[in-house]
Amino acid sequence: MKPTKKKSEFNKKFYIKWMVIAMTAIWAAIAAVWLSMHNWDTEESMQALAQAFTEQPAETEQQAPTEQEEPAVKEEQAATEEKTGQPEAQPEKQPKEETPAPAPKDATVYPDIDQLPAEPTIINGILLANKQHPLPASYAPGENAKARAAFDSMAQAAAKDGLQLVAFSTYRGFDRQKQLYEGYVAKDGQAAADRYSARPGFSEHQTGLAFDIGEAGQEQHWASSSFGETAGGKWVKENAHNYGFILRYPQGKEQITGYMHESWHFRYVGKEAATAIYNQNITLEEYLGI
């Protein structure tokens, strides 16, 4: 039994020996393959090996770029949103450029109406008459007594400064305005007439509160822009608010008031409103918030 034992012992040793050889060969082969995978560089191979055993950081490294991708995607979305936003904004801009023409923003344009209103427009106790707010044809109050009294006070104060103020045109009824306007249209054409004269029903002179002011003996400056350059014109411009009058159509406000600058046309609104309008350097329309 012993030899068999020996034989089996020998077989066992032989088997172990070849197992070790085979295992070494396999490991050598694996090492060779690993080295070949990393350009036969031992350092690189060792680093790769260490990484292989610590797979976690390798995974987070892989995750990191995907996390970075998210903001990149957001940036892309933002970029596409911006891109899609732009074409949307552009069509918006285009109608904006087109709409101001038909919109009632331009106060110089008469509204497309067939009839004058039945009642005048009164805002915060102030009567308003312009191209957007006409008066009834029947509205005929005559010259306003308060406005006349205020003008007389102003003329007295101006007289102390050697200026003889006169109101050469105040109340004008509907029919008188019709006659005047039609005369201007015949002379200069409707487009030109609309810039310096009101159509009947749209004139502030029909309110009885508008005073065209000039100086006695200075008739050449009456209803002329040159009045604003005279001593009388300058005096009225700077003092009228103390008596309740405002320069109704100031320079550069044609789009708001509807009329070109008229250095001679003053409107009675009362001291409080006149002073506020003068101090703020605004128009009646702006003061009334329309």
Positions marked active-site: 262
Least spacing, CB of residue 176 vs Zn ion, in Å? 12
Only segment of 153-161, 183-191, 212-220, 226-234 that touches Zn ion (CB under 5 A): 212-220
Place of tokens 């090492």: 31
Q: State the Cα–Cα distance between residues 282 and 290, nearest whole angstrom.
A: 12
Only segment of 35-43, 52-60, 92-100, 204-212 that touches Zn ion (CB under 5 A): 204-212
Q: Phi and psi (nearest 5°) for 247?
A: -70, 105
Least spacing, CB of residue 95 vs Zn ion, in Å? 37
Residue selected from 147, 208, 212, 228 as contacting Zn ion according to rule CB under 5 A? 212
Least spacing, CB of residue 205 vs Zn ion, in Å? 6
Residue showing the smallest CB distance to Zn ion in the complex = 265
Least spacing, CB of residue 257 vs Zn ion, in Å? 12
Number of neighbouring beta carbons within 10 Å of residue 60: 10
For residue 139, what are the contacts with CB-CB under 8 A and spacing of at least 6?
120, 174, 206, 207
Of residues 35 and 126, the one with the C-beta less far from Zn ion: 126
Of residues 253 and 265, the one with the C-beta less far from Zn ion: 265
Of residues 38 and 195, the one with the C-beta less far from Zn ion: 195
Q: Radius of gyration (Cα) for the chain, nearest Å?
A: 47
What is residue 210's three-state secondary structure? Answer: strand
The strand pair at 245-249 and 210-215 is best described as: unpaired
Q: Phi and psi (nearest 5°) for 281?
A: 55, 45
Structure tokens at 18: 């070849």
Of 154, 123, 62, give the one whose Cα is nearest residue 286. 123
Only segment of 23-31, 79-87, 147-155, 262-270 that touches Zn ion (CB under 5 A): 262-270
Distance between start and end Cα atoms, the chain: 126
Residue selected from 131, 172, 237, 265 as contacting Zn ion according to rule CB under 5 A? 265
Least spacing, CB of residue 198 vs Zn ion, in Å? 9
Of residues 68 and 251, the one with the C-beta less far from Zn ion: 251
Q: Judged by CB under 5 A, does residue 172 bind Zn ion?
A: no
Of residues 266 and 278, the one with the C-beta less far from Zn ion: 266
* Footprint on this chain of Zn ion (rule: CB under 5 A): 212, 265
